[in-house]
């Protein structure tokens, strides 16, 4: 099994960036959503992104952001990619790509087969999909809720679609997630935190150890 890309999201400290990259993160994500405990201002993100440039792909995570906010983020922080984690349509993805010239990860909230079928709308439009669980009722955040969805829904999915599996991944369940889905990418945030927004070095190590163990079992 090919090693999946690993994206660790919601990072706000250089120490955490260095740690996850040393452990093998291919992508690091920064949250630009004020309600999130992981929110970073564009000038803070600019320093974090400058710190890791060239060592991992940097992703600006936004939620239904308008052009002004995207422009502020892109010109201040210079991320490698944009993640659209709201209700952005395929047409909006096309517009964002044309305006900012950056690859786009489009997040989709999944609970049922019908949710997953929405992938077709973004085929050939988004550079990657990110399949996250639907937020629980009453949640303030569209992502970062630590909730999983039924990974067996992905069994019938076209395996050529590039995607990150997301939603509630942690050191305890990542081996099963990989076994069920064979996902080409993993994306996670709260599963390596000790409290919302506080990344925990021991949990980061446990997560990467679990991924390595799962991959070595697969190739043994």
Catalytic residues: 9, 132
Q: Which residue is nearest to ligand LGQLAAA5 (CB)?
A: 144
State the maximum Cα–Cα separation within the chain, in Å, rounded to a whole number: 50
Calpha distance 96→135 (Å, rounded): 24
Q: Can residue 58 be called a binding residue for ligand LGQLAAA5 (CB under 6 A)?
A: no
- Considering only 6, 31, 108, 126, the residue that binds ligand LGQLAAA5 (CB under 6 A) is 31
- Considering only 45, 56, 60, 63, the residue that binds ligand LGQLAAA5 (CB under 6 A) is 63
Task: Indicate the residue among 28 and 74 with the shorter CB distance to ligand LGQLAAA5.
Answer: 28
Which residue has 């991992």 as its token pair? 56
**104-133: which residues touch ligand LGQLAAA5 (CB under 6 A)?**
132
Single out the segment in contact with ligand LGQLAAA5 by CB under 6 A; choices: 20-28, 31-39, 154-162, 174-182. 31-39
Task: Indicate the residue among 46 and 185 with the shorter CB distance to ligand LGQLAAA5.
Answer: 185
Q: Can residue 145 be called a binding residue for ligand LGQLAAA5 (CB under 6 A)?
A: yes
Q: Where are the beta strands (DSSP E) in the chain?
A: 5-8, 27-32, 57-62, 81-84, 104-110, 128-133, 163-165, 185-188, 193-195, 198-199
Q: Can residue 146 be called a binding residue for ligand LGQLAAA5 (CB under 6 A)?
A: yes
Q: Taking the complex as a whole, how short is the minimal distance between the CB of residue 128 and ligand LGQLAAA5, in angstroms?
A: 12
C-alpha distances (whole Å) from 69 to each of 72, 85, 102 are: 5, 14, 15
Give the list of residues 6+ apart from residue 67 with CB closer than 8 angstroms, or none.
Answer: 99
Task: Indicate the residue among 15 and 140 with the shorter CB distance to ligand LGQLAAA5.
Answer: 140
- Angle, helices 42-52 vs 14-23, to 10°: value is 40
Instruction: For residue 144, count other CB atoms closer than 10 A to its CB.
Output: 28
Give the list of residues 6+ apart from residue 39 with CB closer than 8 angstroms, or none.
Answer: 31, 32, 33
Give residues in contact with ligand LGQLAAA5 (CB under 6 A).
Answer: 9-10, 29, 31, 33, 36, 38, 61, 63, 85, 132, 141-146, 166-169, 187-191
């Amino acid at each position: 099994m090919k090693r999946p890309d690993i994206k660790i999201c919601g990072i706000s400290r250089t120490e955490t960036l260095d740690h996850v990259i040393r452990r093998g993160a291919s992508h690091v994500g920064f949250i630009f959503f004020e309600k999130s405990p992981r929110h970073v201002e564009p000038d803070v993100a600019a320093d974090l992104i400058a710190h890791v440039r060239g060592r991992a792909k940097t992703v600006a995570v936004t939620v239904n952001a308008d052009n002004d906010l995207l422009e502020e983020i892109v010109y201040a922080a210079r991320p490698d990619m944009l993640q659209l984690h709201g209700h952005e349509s395929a047409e909006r993805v096309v517009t964002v790509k044309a305006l900012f010239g950056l690859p786009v990860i489009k997040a989709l909230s999944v609970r049922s087969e019908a949710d997953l079928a929405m992938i077709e709308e973004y085929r050939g439009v988004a550079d990657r999909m990110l399949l996250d669980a639907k937020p629980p009722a009453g949640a303030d955040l569209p992502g970062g809720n630590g909730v999983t969805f039924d990974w067996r829904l992905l069994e019938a999915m076209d395996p050529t679609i590039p995607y990150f599996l997301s939603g509630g991944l942690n050191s305890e369940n990542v081996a099963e997630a990989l076994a069920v889905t064979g996902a080409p990418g993993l994306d996670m945030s709260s599963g390596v935190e000790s409290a919302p927004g506080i990344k925990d070095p021991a949990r980061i190590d446990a997560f990467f150890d679990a991924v390595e163990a799962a991959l070595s079992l697969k190739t043994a």
